[in-house]
């Protein structure tokens, strides 16, 4: 469980839960610069537990060219200077199916 240092109020830290108890989870994964730790694994790579429901591109600002983030110019050559990761909604396969039932409807 990751608790950012900006949470100085203990009431906010109590709202963090163990990811294994979740039906759904949002994960941000930068394929070209993967980051992983014991407290924050790359959930998207654990296909045996988490299945991908939906993904969108997410700008990797730390590894993208500054000028291409500030200005917008038409053309793929300009956009190719940016790097992107995957911002995905993941579903815990077994846990979500149990809660959703046979109809596949949540609650």
- How much of the chain, in percent, has pLDDT values that exceed 70? 79
Provide mean pLDDT across the span 12-37: 80
**Domain residue limits, the chain:** 18-100
Task: Supply the pLDDT for residue 55.
Answer: 95
Lowest average pLDDT, out of 2-11, 61-70, 81-90, goes to: 2-11
- pTM recorded for the entire structure: 0.69
Task: Supply the pLDDT for residue 107.
Answer: 47
| Helix (H/G/I), strand (E/B), else coil: 94 | helix
Task: Supply the pLDDT for residue 56.
Answer: 95
CA distances from 12 to 4, 9, 18, 26, 96 (A): 10, 6, 15, 19, 26
| Higher pLDDT among residues 1 and 93, named by residue | 93
């Amino acid at each position: 469980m990751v608790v950012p240092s900006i949470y100085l109020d203990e009431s906010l830290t109590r709202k963090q839960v163990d990811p294994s108890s979740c039906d759904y989870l949002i994960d941000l994964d930068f394929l070209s610069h993967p980051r992983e730790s014991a407290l924050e694994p790359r959930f998207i790579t654990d296909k045996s537990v988490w299945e991908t429901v939906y993904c969108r591109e997410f700008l990797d600002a730390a590894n993208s060219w500054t000028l291409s983030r500030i200005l917008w110019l038409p053309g793929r050559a300009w956009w190719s200077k940016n790097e992107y990761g995957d911002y995905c909604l993941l579903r815990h396969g077994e846990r979500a199916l149990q809660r959703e039932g046979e109809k596949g409807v949540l609650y």
